[in-house]
Structure 1
């Protein structure tokens, strides 16, 4: 009896995601080497991973353009794209990225700038769920903004050394919420579908082209819950789409497989599977390289995955100890752009009248948020003059972008008294969110503040040294309102869950909400100055309730902030936010912050925070009495 041998082939899929323009291992705000970031460091991992296996492919899952001052230099002079490539695009070309998709932040500078940047890419950029506006009745009727997918034909060697051609289908999706977050730039030009709906249409067509393997570049994170209309982290559902073999996730700035994700029916954080499919998420800013080793076997029905191994390789170890050095080739190529960026961020623009930090933003008023709130309020009040909203009370709401959390004990903003540079101001507002104004009821404003209060755990009466922060709540989603007084009652469980859904039977944690000393009626209307990301519900905020978008300007909050600071010539003396924790005698909480925070202790109603010690993860811990 004759037996046929099954052909097998080992394929290594390498993944980067959420590069955010972080080409160099450098913190431009402190002008120091930062070993925790940079494609120059990831490139060393890429080189090593390729040397270990003969069959490799390198893919990217989006959010590559925005996030670094190096990119800001080019955004300030977009005409340069006609003669040279955006630095991060040149870097991706250099390390050999073979396909990419778009993330939500890749739209932040508008479609024209995006197209000009992509023209320099030596690799296909695909996106299946963004189409020219208006959307068709079904995905089949859409006019795609970019090709939904690409077929990469690669010559590999099987396990016997025989050369064979594999056809890899690469398809990408980004959050449909881009239409809310960047409405001012995208409305009427493109539109976005639910990623899962789009994939259900396009994957069968990709399969029909005779591909051997389908890899989904999924710019979305991981949550194991039923698919809903506003769901943002849809990677589990993307993996469940028939015909998809591998998922390269992103957007969440987390690492998968890994301990930050709990096991659940559709998530295996040890084996590295989502809905049973091999998957990886490679952190952000080049912090990790995703590696999925696939053992493929060829049978009568074509190639299939017989087994796999997934991991995310870090560029730093415990305590931020570097595990790799810069890739010499990429570093040399990017050196001119690097030096230009250093000069750009060093330009003085104003003077800080006091120490400005984000060390204690989650527990006390901070000049770091005060200057942003003041700039927003000034802009909106001027634009609303003479309108039907001119007489309404104005509340300005903003959040810290660098305040520890997943970023680690060094991830904070700090401006010392004296000259403040361009880099200092950029550091206070990292993202080019648009300037937006809403008209809200006081009831909707209370919900907004309750969502922000999800930053804090429930602390029962009389509990001593309870952990304060909810580790699932990103610090950049902690909004602080300037222009009214309120208190947060930690003795009450959060009104909203971690995804922003109202908990059945829960009640508000917001107490004593007053305006100019008077209690606010729930139906009272206020004007709110905020950003386009939050106005679109970003961060799971219930902005829809009782809200009307009354202003949406083609200018970023960062530009508003820069103009405000330059015009005044000083920052740090803006009116503080007026909020506190509700009194809870006999209770205390432990709050982690930067080990450098000792010279910036705020005055709280119960006294200054008391330093407890240094934690194993590098954060300094402080006791706050309630």
Structure 2
């Protein structure tokens, strides 16, 4: 299944031009990689990598019903990436290349949701991500944490449809402690000077145990990446691996969004390179970062380990060159380099497009169904610093749903609160007809809905934690970029928008202001419920998503709070169901200003 590549790679460019392009531009256009044939007792192995595809196959935005577009002019999707992959293979020789993916594959778009929940790809139905990846011809793919979002049966069905192994060395069967997925494979590569045995191993962030507890608890256990690697890497060398390439779904920068909730870090790729001898290169995923090339020194051997991360959604493709030398009958890596190819320089691969076209058309038809109307526009552009109807709508429907689920239970009398965040600042739904894609765009993740019991004091703590999202500001006018996404110990690259939660009251208003001039932990002012200062001892039922309740963002109290309901139903689908059943999203029921920002007590204007 090889499709023609219209723009060949340029063999005349020097190795120096590859490194210069990677370091200066961050990515390289198609036509920038050199080709070097093996000669004597040397050999070049090329490892091609993708990561965090999140079920993006075509350059298509299902929420906008149009080609994907962003300010940087990026293109997305495995079809774009596949053209780059095939071009590298054509130049280097397919037999001299290995193609890997670093996980988060079967979740992230309406395409993924449709084939998980609307028409599940089980019982013989082919998952579009299996069809697309088989068309590319990967050598292996690694588990990502989002692989577990839809439950183990769907994951196993997808795995069974792949023409290559699904790796997860640090995932163990809870009952037997055996590896639950293939830990590694050794691929034999034939050269002019004998066979090179290339070990491919995959690791996934242990945060799966928290984020998908409902799907994995009592069934799968997740060991630390470094801890598992210290056992597995020697096993690979003992099994004959000359070269070891790791596909690691764990970010480069150390740290964990879940704090100390687990004894193992979320992001361990750098630590893996530093602490485990015997690794030659690491394809990094999970953090959605763009890292063309980075070297980390192994503390035990002094060896430089090559790492590279190809952004996300197929926007980039990693190309790692490992130059091998055979000495006394043993192959070793003598030098290494990496660069990124940019998907916007390529046309979509015809074979991949054909593999998913029917599935894509079915999903497009599904998401464009009109299911109701909205009485007001729903926008999130300013939702990170002011109370907007779009976030209120999510909170209202979550709280309304939980109110119904609590009926007839001992907790039925508890007043209901709800939390939600602006997952995207790009939601812009006009008043009028609502389609499935409009509603899905409000809630882009596949989180499920729970309710927990909290006290007024715990609500105050929760809001104080959320308010660390803001930088300290003492003026009364501030630019948004100087206000939001504050750097914290848990978020060294800045607190993401999805970790700023708004708390909403269903039965009575929950109102408060956030004074961003005050130190973190002392910012919530005038917290009231039903017009009176909140009683620290009062108990509430709080609607919350599974990511947050299981530790995502490390918010206080929620991991240990009593769970009142847990239907394990996706919040997105709950919103779709509500609009379908009522026929209208009536803003008069939920859209009111309950919180605002101040600086030293004066209203804050964000420009």
The reply to whether TM is greater than 0.5 is: yes
Check the 8 A contact 1:62/1:250 in 2, yes or no.
yes
Are residues 456 and 311 of structure 1, via their aligned partners in 2, closer, same or farther at CA, if it must alter by over 3 Å? farther
CA change 1:23–1:464 in 2 (3 A) is: closer
1:311 aligns with 2:370: no
- Structure-2 separation of matches of 1:548 and 1:48: 54
C-alpha distance 239-446 of structure 1, shift in aligned 2 (>3 A)? farther
Q: State how 1:118-517 maps to structure 2 within 5 Å.
A: 118-134=159-175, 142-155=177-190, 157=191, 162=192, 164-224=194-254, 229=263, 231-240=265-274, 241-257=276-292, 276-300=304-328, 302-315=330-343, 322-403=344-425, 412-461=426-475, 465=479, 467-470=482-485, 472-483=494-505, 484-493=510-519, 495=520, 507-517=521-531
Shift of 1:348: 0.9
1:488/1:110 CA distance change after superposition, 3 Å:
same
Confirm or deny: 8 A CA contact 1:462 1:585 kept in the other structure.
Answer: no
Alpha-carbon offset, residue 23 of structure 1? 0.4
Partner of 1:575: 590
Alignment RMSD: 2.7
Q: Distance in 1 between matches of 2:82 and 2:526?
A: 53
User: Equivalents in 2 of 1:516, 1:445: separation in Å?
Assistant: 14
Instruction: Summarize deviations over 1:165-195 as a string: whole Å, max 9, x none.
Output: 2222111122222222222222222222222
Matches within 5 A, 1:498-537: 507-537=521-551
Q: CA deviation at 1:163?
A: 5.3
Match of 1:13 among 35, 38, 47: 47
- 1:583 CA drift (Å): 4.1
Q: Are the aligned partners of 1:486 and 1:514 in contact in 2 as well (CA < 8 Å)?
A: yes
Matches of 1:248 and 1:563 in 2, distance apart? 40
Moved more, 424-433 or 110-119: 424-433
Structure 1 residue 52 and structure 2 residue 91: aligned?
yes
8 Å CA contact retained: 2:80, 2:314: yes
1:420-452 CA distance string (max 9 Å, x none): 111111121222212111222334333332332
Q: Distance in 2 between matches of 1:367 and 1:533?
A: 23
Alpha-carbon spacing, 1:217–1:329, altered in 2? closer, same or farther (3 Å): same
Q: Matches of 1:175 and 1:94 in 2, distance apart? A: 27
The Cα shift of 1:19 comes to 0.6
Say if 1:25 and 1:302 are closer, same or farther in 2 by CA, change over 3 A: same
Quote how far apart the aligned CAs of 1:72 are. Answer: 2.3
* Structure 2 residue ranges without an equivalent (≥5): 1-38, 69-73, 486-492
Q: Deviations over 1:112-168 (max 9, x none)?
A: 11111111100100111222224x7xxxxx12211112222222x3xxxx1532222
Summarize deviations over 1:479-508 as a string: whole Å, max 9, x none.
111111122221134x3xxxxxxxxxxx33
Q: TM-score, normalised by structure 2?
A: 0.83
1:299–1:548 Cα change, 3 Å: farther
Structure 2 counterparts to residues 99-118 of structure 1, below 5 A: 99-118=140-159
Counterparts of 2:331 and 2:539 in 1: how far apart (Å)? Answer: 61
Contact kept, 8 Å, 2:273 with 2:297, in 1: the verdict is no
CA distance in 2 between counterparts of 1:510 and 1:200 reads: 46
Query: Which of 133, 142, 153 matches 1:92?
Result: 133
State the Cα distance separating 1:306 from its structure 2 match. 1.7
How far 1:398 moved relative to its partner?
Answer: 1.2
Q: In 2, distance between residues paired with 1:326 and 1:163?
A: 36
CA distance in 2, matches of 1:421, 1:488: 35
Q: TM-score, normalised by structure 1?
A: 0.80
How far residue 299 of structure 1 moved from its aligned partner, in angstroms, is 2.4
1:31 aligns with 2:85: no
C-alpha contact 1:196 1:237 (8 A) present in aligned 2: yes
> Against the structure 1 CA distance between its residues 175 and 572, is the aligned structure 2 distance closer, same or farther, given a 3 Å change threshold?
farther
Quote the offset at 1:302 in angstroms.
2.8
Query: What is the match of residue 407 of structure 1?
Result: none
CA deviations 1:53-93 (Å, max 9, x no partner) are 23211101111001121222222354654344211111111
Conserved 8 A contact 1:6-1:299: no
What is the aligned residue count?
540
Equivalents in 1 of 2:83, 2:562: separation in Å?
49
Distance change in 2, residues 1:239/1:402 (3 Å): same
